[in-house]
Amino acid sequence: MGVDIYAVRAELDADPDSRGYASMSVVEVVEDMYIERIDRNRSSMRATEIYNAVEETEWNALSDAQKTRVKDIISMGEVNPFGREADVMIAVFGGGSDTITTLAATRKETISLVVDKGWQGLSTRHILAARAL
Residue 81 confidence (pLDDT) = 94
Bridge partner residues of 45 (DSSP): 79
State how far the Cα of 41 lies from the Cα of 108, in Å rounded to an integer: 5
Residue 61 confidence (pLDDT) = 97
CA 131 centroid distance within chain: 30
Residue 55 confidence (pLDDT) = 96
Decide if 99 contacts 53 (C-beta within 8 A).
Answer: yes
Residue 2 confidence (pLDDT) = 81
CB neighbours (10 Å) of residue 44? 14
Decide if 42 contacts 108 (C-beta within 8 A).
Answer: yes
Residue 114 confidence (pLDDT) = 97
* Closest alpha carbon to 108 in 44, 32, 46, 47: 44
Q: What phi, psi does 25 have (nearest 5°)?
A: -75, 170
Decide if 36 contacts 112 (C-beta within 8 A).
Answer: yes
Q: Which residues of the chain have a pLDDT value below 50?
A: none
Residue 1 confidence (pLDDT) = 59
